[in-house]
Amino acid sequence: MKPRIKFPDIIIIILVTGITLFSGYSVYMKPDEKTQVLIRGQGSEWFFPIDADEVITVSGPLGDTMVSIAENRVWVKSSPCDNQTCAAAGYLTRKGQWTACLPNNVLVVIQGGASGGVSGRSDDVDAVAW
């Protein structure tokens, strides 16, 4: 005897298919967050889009730290601290990258957006992972 598909079976198949499609759409088709740069200084925070063309002066206990944003990247241009580790960090281009001038209380972080780097790929090997 050949099994027959009954009306309740069709309803269940339609419901499961609908739930699966809705779940896939809500997870994978939502818009990307806009990539932005967070700059935090003594008691102040600034947010800029990564595609801005700005030079920001952040005052700290040692003096002024200059942060530049241009060409979809951000870097510490100069800082009054002795070791210049924050300036030596180079260009930040991907979500999650950060640099800090601890003696001058300045933090620069890239937030939001896709995790892809300059090439747009998220599987790029960075210096930390290497």
Domain ranges of the chain: 36-111
* Euclidean distance between CA atoms 37 and 65, whole angstroms: 16
For 36-111, the fitting CATH number among 3.30.70.100, 3.40.50.2000, 2.60.320.10, 3.30.830.10 is: 2.60.320.10
Split at pLDDT 50, 70, 90, the class of 10 is: very high
What is the mean pLDDT of the segment spanning 47-53?
92
pLDDT at 1: 67
70-109 per-position pLDDT tens digit: 999 999 999 998 888 999 999 999 999 999 999 999 999 9
Kindly report the average pLDDT of the chain as a whole number: 84
In terms of pTM, does the model score above 0.85? Answer: no
Split at pLDDT 50, 70, 90, the class of 33 is: low
